[in-house]
Chains A and B, each alone.
Chain A
C-alpha cells in the first residue's frame, strides 16, 4: 500500500475523530442502547462483534458489524453498561488504537442510542514484518520513555525510604487528570501552560504525601509491611476519588491536530514525536540534576546508603521530601505524555504501575538510571511483541521479564548485589 494512501486514510480518520470529539454523540432512534460504525480509515470493518453487559457483568446483547461497519445493540433500560469490542473478531492487520476495547458507559436518557466510537490503526495493514518491526520499535520507544519518566520517582522513593509505593500509579493519573482539567474545563489553558501547572500541582501533591503522611508514619516507626498496606489502601482511595472527580470516560487534551508524519516506514502523529523529544529532554534534565546539582547528589547518596548520608551531614528528611516532589512532578509528566499519545482515563496510572514495577526491577530497585533503562526496555519489549503475538498479551511479556530477572539477576541491570546477612 502506498504510503501516501495511508497518510490520506489517517488524515480522514483524524478529521472524523475531530468531528466526533467528545467520544459519544447521541442519535435519535427507536429504543435506547448503543450503536456505532467501525471504520478503519475509509474502509468499513464488517463482521466484528460488540458485546454489551450490564453492571453485574451479564450480557445484555451483542451485535456483529454489517457490511458498512455499522452495529447497534438495544438495551431494555437505562443504567450502567459495559461495551466491549471483541478484538479477536477484527480482520487481520486491523488494530485498535484505543487503550482498551472496553467502554464503561452510563446510559441516562431513554430512547437514545449512544454512539460508541472506536479508532483503528491501519498503518500496519499489509506492511512487511521489517516495517512493522521498525514501526513498533518506534512506538515501543515512545511507551518506554513514558514508563521511564513515571518510574524514576518510584525508584528514587524506594531508594531513599525503602518504600514500594503502590499508589504511585495514582500520582501519574492525578497529574494527567489535573492537566486535563486545566486544559479543558473552566480554565481552558493552552496545553503547555496546563501541563506546567499540573507539574507544579503534581509535585506539590507528592510532597504533601511525604510531609503530611509518610514522614509522620516513619516517626511512628510503622513497619515495612504496614507501609505497603497503607499504599495499597491509598491506591484504592485515590483511584476511587479520581473516578468520582474525572468520571469513567476516556478524554483527550485539546491539541491542534496535524497530519501524520512519515519517516521511512514509521508513520506517526507529530504530537507523538514532540512527546518523545520532550521525554528525552526531561530524562536528560533529570540525569543532569542528579549528576550535577547538590540536591541531586544528595538524593543519590541517600539512595545509596541512608545512614552514611545522614552521618555525612545531609539533611535526609529534606532530601526525601524533594524526592517525593520530584517523583510527583515526573509522574505528572509521564501521565500527561500517556494522555497525549493515547487518552486520559482514571485507571491509566494503575495500568502503568505494573509496567513501572517491571521497569524498576529490571533496572535495579532504587536506581534512577535503572528505572530509565528498565522503562525503555519494558516499553520496547511490549510493543515489539505485537509484531508476532496478539496485542492483548503485550504487557504480559514485560511482566514475564520481571520474573525472569528475579530468577537470573535479582539486583537488576544497574543494581548492586545485595548483602544477605
Chain B
C-alpha cells in the first residue's frame, strides 16, 4: 500500500481549489452559526445562487464575465432577504427548516425542464468563464514537492480563491472584534438579553444572514470561475453538511477555524477515500465494500459519524478551547 501517494493526494486536496471553495462556505456559516447562532442549513443554496447568478447572466443575458460576477453577490443578497424576512422573527428551528427547504426548492426549480431555457436544467450551464481561463499564465502541471503537483488551471483558480478566502477572513475578523460583532455574539448567547439592552435583534440577524450568505455566494462565484460551468448537483444539501463538518472540525466562532477546518476536512476525506480504495484493491475489504461506489459511501457515513462525535465531544473543534464551552447559562 502506497501511503506516500495517499498522503500526497490528501495534501493536494487540502490546499486545492475545492478546500478553498469550501473555506468560503464555512466562513459564511461561521458568521451565522459560530458568531450569531443562526442555524443555516441552506448554505449550499447561497453558493448556488452565486454560481447561477454569474452563469445565467453570462450565458442567457450575454453579459461579459466581469459584469456578471457581482450578480452572484446580488443573488446572495436577495436570497438572504427572502429567507430572513419571514423567518428571523421566529424560533431558530423554523429558520433551520426554511433554509434547507428554500435551497432545495430553488435547486429543483433550477434543474426542472420548466426553467431549463435559462438555467440549462439538469445539464447546467457551460463555458461560463472563458475570460478567466484565458488569463491563466500557468501551463501543464505545476510541481511542488515530490508527487505533490497541480494542474496549471487549478493553480490559477486556486490562488485566486485562496486570496479571496484570506481577504474575507480579514473582513470577518475586523467585523467580529468590533461592537457590531459583540452584538452578534450577544444574540448567540441570549436574544432577549440583547433585546432588553436596546439591540434590534432581527435587524442584526438579518445583517449577519446577508453577510454570511453573500460570503457563501462568493464561494459559488469562485467555484464557477474554477470550473467554468455551473451544475445543480454540486449544491445538494450534502454540501452544507460537509461545510458544517468542516466548521465543527476547525472550531466555530474562531478566526481561522473555517480555513483550518476545510483543509483538515478535505485532507481527511481524501485520505480515507484513498485508503479504503487501496484496501479494496488489496482485497482486504469485505465483498460488499469492494466497489469504489461503496467506499465512497462508507466515507460519507464516516463524515456523518464525525459530525455527531465532534458535536458531542469536541464542539469547540479539534484545536478549540474547551473551557469556554463548558460554561453554562
Residues of A at under 8 Å CB distance from B?
A: 51, 55, 57, 59, 80, 84, 86-88, 106, 158, 164, 166, 217, 220-222, 224-226, 228-230, 232-241, 243-244, 248, 354, 357-358, 361, 365, 389-390, 392-393, 395-396, 399-400, 402-403, 406-407, 410, 418, 421
Contact = CB atoms under 8 A, between A and B. Distances in A.
Contact of B328 (A166, A221, A407): A221
Contacts of B92: 224-225
Enumerate the 4 nearest inter-chain pairs by beta-carbon distance, A residue then B residue, closest first.
A233-B307, A88-B113, A237-B304, A236-B304
Contact of B307 (A84, A232, A241, A392): A232
A396 to B, nearest CB: 5
Given A230-B312, A232-B307, A406-B87, A395 B108 contact: yes
A393 B114 contact: yes
Given A230-B307, A399-B105, A236 B301 contact: yes
A238 B92 CA distance: 25
A400 B312 contact: no
A18 B297 CA distance: 31
A400 B121 CA distance: 20
B89 to A, nearest CB: 8
Interface in B290-329: 291-294, 297-298, 300-301, 303-308, 311-312, 315, 328
B100 interface: yes
B174 interface: no
Nearest to A104: B293
A244 B112 contact: no
Contacts of A59: 123
Given A393-B109, A399-B102, A229 B307 contact: yes
A232 B244 contact: yes
Contacts of B308: 230, 233-234, 237
Interface residues of B, number: 58
A421 B191 CA distance: 10
B279 interface: no
A237 B306 CA distance: 9
A234 B312 contact: no
A232 B114 CA distance: 31
Contacts of A164: 93, 96-97
**A87, A222, A357 — most chain B CB neighbours (10 Å):** A357
Given A228-B96, A399-B105, A406-B94, A80 B293 contact: yes
Interface of B: 33, 37, 39, 41, 86-87, 89-94, 96-98, 100-102, 104-105, 108-109, 111-114, 116, 121-123, 192, 231, 233, 238, 241, 244-245, 248, 288-289, 291-294, 297-298, 300-301, 303-308, 311-312, 315, 328
B interface majority secondary structure: helix
A interface majority secondary structure: helix
Contacts of B86: 403, 406-407
Contacts, number: 145
24 contacts: A80-B293, A88-B113, A226-B311, A228-B39, A228-B96, A229-B248, A229-B311, A233-B308, A233-B311, A234-B308, A236-B307, A244-B297, A248-B293, A357-B101, A392-B112, A392-B114, A393-B112, A395-B108, A396-B108, A406-B94, A406-B98, A410-B89, A410-B94, A418-B91
Contact of B301 (A87, A237, A396): A237
A81 B86 CA distance: 41
Nearest to B315: A226
Nearest to A84: B122
Nearest to B328: A221
Given A86-B122, A233-B311, A390-B112, A410 B41 contact: no
A134 B303 CA distance: 45
A238 B304 contact: yes
Contacts of B90: 406, 410
Contacts of B108: 392-393, 395-396
**A222, A225, A407 — most chain B CB neighbours (10 Å):** A225
A42 B94 CA distance: 48
A52 to B, nearest CB: 12
Contact of A240 (B121, B248, B298): B298
B50 to A, nearest CB: 19
Contacts of A395: 105, 108
Contact of B241 (A221, A236, A243): A236
A241 B105 contact: no
